[in-house]
Amino acid sequence: MRALQSTTRSVPRSASRRAAVAVSAAAPGPKRVVITGGNTGIGFEAALELVKKGHSVTLACRDDGKAAAAAARIKAAVPSAAVDTLHLDLADLGSVSDAAKSLLDSPAPIDVLLNNAGVMACPYMTTKQGFEYQFGVNHLGHFLLTTSLLPKIKASEGARIVSVASAAHAFGKIDFDSFRSSKDYKEWPAYGQSKLANIMFTYELARRLASDPSAPTANALHPGVVRTELGRYLVSDDSPFYMKIMWGMMTPFTKSPEQGAQTSIYLVSSPEVEGVSGKYFDNCRPISSTPASYDTDVARRLYDVSQELVAAAVDSAAMA
Ligand SMILES: NC(=O)c1ccc[n+]([C@@H]2O[C@H](COP(=O)([O-])OP(=O)(O)OC[C@H]3O[C@@H](n4cnc5c(N)ncnc54)[C@H](OP(=O)(O)O)[C@@H]3O)[C@@H](O)[C@H]2O)c1
């Protein structure tokens, strides 16, 4: 795999941090990795590979039965695996708050947060707090989880935040009027918006953390087109027949979940990306995202608006 010496941080880091990075060429020691949606698909394969490398994983999932079954499959494959589960429904900010509290209260560190869970191209639906579902699950839920856990993540030396975005961000646009609205809703642009938000949040977070020597790195990735359950809404009984045909025709050109997990595993565990932050990766290499994703004004506004939206939702849940 190509080394990343030429890929300097897109944001400045402190001199002491850079010096520490320079001497840490060896593979990092065992890490505790929290993976959202680790019960299936790319997240499951990443979890399995990471425990094989000696890391411990927490599968943060919305379905406790699926999470327990996934943990059992990991244990069966790797009997020494350190794996546990945590209830997390990203479509309910109350559940996200509870999961964050439980992680903050636990003595176990958080060395890496892998924001992996996602939904794609669903019909118009809303989260518990009334947000458009794809924006709510893919972006807002992860935004609240990440920002809530930041103080604890910062306490781990060399910590990382890795977010699974998508090349589909190319057909997204951040429309600040759409977050709670069904007006002009279309499945694919809404998916694109949520994945663009993953990337812009990553870049903005990296910028905001750049001057803090104890801060984690933040990177995003495209996993490839991968044969997982992500296409569940495309092959449902209600979806148009041409969508089912198109999905079927793409299958031979897709990656296996194991192949699709490689860039996540790389960003979570490789010493090559120690200290690298604010980048977007594909096939374990940094690449450019779309020009729109580098709009710092929109990214700053998205961060601030997301903060206001989740704070209001959490406050009203606490009052209920
Ligand atoms: N597959 C691809 O071709 C592809 C391409 C680009 C990007 N991605 C991204 O890769 C990531 C992983 O997707 P995948 O392909 O592995 O899909 P997947 O097999 O459908 O897995 C998605 C995971 O997210 C979980 N999830 C969905 N809604 C959730 C919620 N409200 N709260 C908590 N967890 C939730 C699912 O839980 P359940 O099992 O309970 O539903 C599942 O564990 C996603 O972010 C996706 O956008 C995938």
Instruction: Report whether 44 contacts 70 (CB < 8 A).
Output: yes
Q: Provide the pLDDT for residue 246.
A: 67
For the Cβ of 41 lying below 6 angstroms from any atom of ligand 1, the answer is: yes
Q: State both tokens at 150.
A: 């930041």
Collapse the DSSP code of 86 into the 3-class scheme (helix H, G, I; strand E, B; otherwise coil) and give the result: strand
User: What gap in Å lies between CA 16 and CA 277, rounded to an integer?
Assistant: 16
Strands lying side by side in the sheet with 83-87: 83-87, 56-61, 32-36, 112-115, 160-164, 217-222, 279-282, 285-287
Which range among 55-59, 184-188, 215-219, 228-232 shows the weakest confidence by mean pLDDT? 228-232
**What average pLDDT does range 157-184 have in this prediction?**
97
Residue with tokens 């601030």: 304
User: What gap in Å lies between CA 150 and CA 251, rounded to an integer?
Assistant: 38
Cα(194) to ligand 1 centroid in Å equals: 13
Per-residue pLDDT band for 25 (boundaries 50, 70, 90) equals very low
If you take atom 20 of ligand 1, which residue's CA is the nearest one? 230
Cα(276) to ligand 1 centroid in Å equals: 25
For the Cβ of 137 lying below 6 angstroms from any atom of ligand 1, the answer is: yes
Write the CATH number of the domain with boundaries 27-319: 3.40.50.720
User: What gap in Å lies between CA 40 and CA 65, rounded to an integer?
Assistant: 12
CA terminus-to-terminus distance, the chain: 52
- pLDDT digit string (tens) for 73-122? 999 999 999 999 999 999 999 999 999 999 999 999 999 999 999 999 99
**What average pLDDT does range 113-142 have in this prediction?**
97
Phi and psi torsions of 178, nearest 5°? -95, -10
Instruction: Report whether 144 contacts 97 (CB < 8 A).
Output: yes
For the Cβ of 42 lying below 6 angstroms from any atom of ligand 1, the answer is: yes
Which range among 14-18, 34-38, 110-114, 149-153 shows the weakest confidence by mean pLDDT? 14-18
Instruction: Report whether 257 contacts 209 (CB < 8 A).
Output: no
Our separate counts of H helices and E strands in the chain read 11, 8
Catalytic annotation, pick one of 133, 191, 203, 266:
191
For the Cβ of 37 lying below 6 angstroms from any atom of ligand 1, the answer is: yes
User: What gap in Å lies between CA 186 and CA 190, rounded to an integer?
Assistant: 6
- pLDDT digit string (tens) for 176-198? 999 999 999 999 999 999 999 99
Asked about 266 being catalytic, the answer comes back as: no
Strands (E), 15-140: 32-36, 56-61, 83-87, 112-115
Q: State both tokens at 157.
A: 């030396």
Q: Helix axis angle, 262-269 relative to 41-52, nearest 10°?
A: 50
Cα(232) to ligand 1 centroid in Å equals: 10
Total Cβ atoms within 10 A of residue 22 = 10
